[in-house]
Amino acid sequence: MKLTKWILKRKVLMLAFLAMILTANAQNASYISKHKTITTELSEQYGIPASVILAVAIVESSSGQAHAATRLNNHFGMVGKNNLKAEKKGYRSKYKQYDTDKESFMDFCRVISNKDFYARLKDNSDTREWIKAISKAGYSEMPVIWEKRILNTISSNKL
């Protein structure tokens, strides 16, 4: 009897995990579709691979579901001013607010284009080099984990 319960519990957990993966994949696909045009345009303008721009946005904004993305149009975790304190008494956020998603994507590319590594990598399609350089420049507080998440996002979404 105990073995049957254990097997049933395991099946339920596996189904829940599978449902979570399928939901995440659907969210990513929708997010990619929504932002593909702007990332392609910015890629051409700045010489940063669209896959890098999209993958960083997906990870940093949880496919647009994170609070900073939904309330501030901030898809990259950029720090700066916002007006949330005025909206919700006592609430503070360190994240910059943008009027549109597009402004957030443009600001990310502007910031990256001002980094020391940018001139060396501009128009280079090697996503691993870009991710390493962005990480090394201090973009993430957990660089090793961040790099893996970005590269896995590129791979799993075929970016």
pLDDT (tens digit, 9 = 90+) per residue, 70-116?
A: 999 999 999 998 887 655 565 567 899 999 999 999 999 999 999 99
Q: Above 80 in pLDDT, residue 18?
A: no
Three-state SS at 89:
coil
Q: Which domains does the chain have, with CATH numbers?
A: 2-156 (1.10.530.10)
Tokens representing 28? 């990513």
Cα 37 off chain centre by: 16
User: How far apart are alpha carbons 93 and 81 in whole angstroms?
Assistant: 8
- CA 75, CA 69: separation in Å to the nearest integer? 5
Q: What phi, psi does 155 have (nearest 5°)?
A: -65, -50
Q: What is the pTM assigned to this prediction?
A: 0.81
- How distant, in Å, are the alpha carbons of 51, 53, 125, 133 from that of 116? 21, 18, 18, 9
